C-alpha cells in the first residue's frame, strides 16, 4: 500500500474509489467500510484509496478530553494495508483542513487530486467545516462533480449496539479486553519502550518488562491479564511472541503511585529487553489489582496468576523463577 503524506504526493491522473475516516482501531465497522471500498474499486478497475487524519480531530478540537488512540498511526496503516487498500492519504488535521467548506473539501481532495469515481462512507459520515457536510451533501456534490456515493450501513453486535471506537474504549476502561477484541475483530495491543523499574518482581521471582513513559495505545483498567509480549528478534525481520502474565496498575502492595504496565514472560529468566520497543497484547483479564495481607499471600496469588495465564494462552505452566537464575529484566 502506498502512503501519501501530503496532497502533492498524490500522482497526477488518479482514478479511484475513495473512503474517508479516522479508522482508529480498525474495528469491525471500519473493516466493512474499507472492504466495500476495495470491492467497488476492483469492480471498476481502479485503485482503492482511503483518506485518514492525523492527529485525530478530537485531539485538535477538544484536547482537554485527553483522547488516546486505540492504535498508533503506523498500526492503523498496517491494518488498512491488510484490508487490501492500494493507497492511503494521511491528512495532517489542522485549520487548513477543518475550515474547508464541504464543497471545498470535495473539490480539493476527492476531485482534483484523487480523481474519485465513487466515494464509500459509513452511515455517520460528516465532513467539512463544523461537520456541516452530510451524506446527502456528498451525494449532491457527487452529482455535480461526477462521482457516485455508496453508504455502508452500520453493522451491529448481537446486543444491537453498533461497532465503534468509543465502545472499544469503554470496554478497555472496564478491563474487558476480550470484549474489546470482539468489537475490534483482533486482540488489543499497546506499544512502548522497556524501562528499568524497581526490580521488585525480579527479587520475588517474577522478572518483568516495564512500560511506563510514552506508551502508545489505550492501557486497559488496572488488573492482571494473560497476553503476549511481542518483540522483533534481534538481527532479523521476524517477530517473537512470548506468553506473559501482565500487571497493570500502581502496585498497591508496595504503595506505588505511578501507573505502569509490567509483563512477566512465563518461564524466562534470560531476556534482556531494556531499551527495546515491544508490543504488549492483551488476551484475557485474570483478576483486578489487589493488595494482600502478607507477602506470602501475594506470592501465592502470583503463582496462581501464572497458572491461569498459561491455561488461557494454551502453553505449559511455568513456575516462579529463582531470583539467582535471573540474568536480565
The residues annotated with a catalytic role in the active site are 262
Q: What are the phi and psi torsion angles at 168 (to 5°)?
A: -60, -45
For residue 34, give the C-alpha cell: 474499507
Burial call 257-270: b when 16+ CB within 10 Å, e when fewer: eeebbbbbbbbbbe
Rounded to whole angstroms, how far apart are CA atoms 69 and 324?
40
Cα angle 186, 51, 14 (rounded to 5 degrees) comes to 125
Rounded to whole angstroms, how far apart are CA atoms 283 and 308?
12
Q: In this structure, are residues 306 and 320 in contact, taking their beta carbons and an 8 Å threshold?
A: yes
Strand arrangement, sheet containing 209-211? 188-193, 277-287, 223-232, 239-249, 260-265, 209-211
- What stretches of 55-153 adopt beta strand conformation (E)? 87-92, 116-122, 148-152
Amino acid at each position: 500500500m502506498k502512503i501519501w503524506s501530503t496532497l502533492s504526493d498524490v500522482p497526477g491522473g488518479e482514478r479511484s474509489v475513495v473512503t474517508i475516516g479516522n479508522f482508529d482501531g480498525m474495528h469491525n465497522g471500519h473493516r466493512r467500510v474499507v472492504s466495500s471500498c476495495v470491492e467497488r474499486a476492483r469492480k471498476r478497475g481502479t485503485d482503492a484509496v482511503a483518506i485518514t487524519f492525523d492527529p485525530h480531530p478530537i485531539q485538535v478540537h477538544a484536547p482537554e478530553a485527553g483522547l488516546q488512540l486505540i492504535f498508533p498511526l503506523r498500526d492503523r496503516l498496517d491494518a488498512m494495508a491488510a484490508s487490501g487498500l492500494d493507497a492511503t492519504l494521511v491528512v495532517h488535521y489542522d485549520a487548513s483542513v477543518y475550515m474547508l467548506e464541504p464543497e471545498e473539501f470535495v473539490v480539493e481532495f476527492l476531485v482534483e487530486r484523487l480523481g474519485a469515481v465513487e466515494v464509500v462512507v459509513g452511515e455517520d459520515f460528516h465532513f467539512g467545516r463544523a461537520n456541516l457536510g452530510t451524506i446527502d451533501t456528498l451525494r449532491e456534490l457527487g452529482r455535480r462533480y461526477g462521482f457516485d456515493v455508496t453508504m455502508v450501513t452500520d453493522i451491529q453486535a448481537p446486543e444491537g449496539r453498533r461497532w465503534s471506537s468509543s465502545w472499544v474504549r469503554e470496554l478497555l476502561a472496564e478491563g474487558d479486553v476480550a470484549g474489546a477484541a470482539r468489537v475490534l475483530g483482533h486482540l488489543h495491543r499497546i506499544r512502548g519502550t522497556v524501562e528499568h523499574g524497581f526490580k521488585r518482581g525480579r527479587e520475588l521471582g517474577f522478572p518483568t518488562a516495564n512500560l511506563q513513559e510514552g506508551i502508545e495505545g489505550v492501557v486497559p483498567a488496572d488488573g492482571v491479564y494473560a497476553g503476549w509480549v511481542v518483540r522483533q528478534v534481534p538481527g532479523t525481520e521476524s517477530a517473537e511472541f512470548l506468553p506473559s502474565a501482565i500487571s497493570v496498575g500502581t502496585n498497591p502492595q508496595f504503595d506505588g503511585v505511578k501507573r505502569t504496565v509490567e509483563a512477566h514472560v512465563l518461564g524466562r529468566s534470560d531476556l534482556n529487553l531494556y531499551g527495546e520497543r515491544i508490543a504488549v497484547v492483551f488476551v484475557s483479564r485474570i483478576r483486578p489489582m489487589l493488595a494482600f495481607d502478607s507477602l506470602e499471600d501475594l506470592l501465592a496469588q502470583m503463582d496462581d496468576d501464572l497458572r491461569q495465564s498459561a491455561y488461557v494462552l494454551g502453553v505449559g505452566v511455568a513456575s516462579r523463577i529463582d531470583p539467582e537464575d535471573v540474568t536480565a529484566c
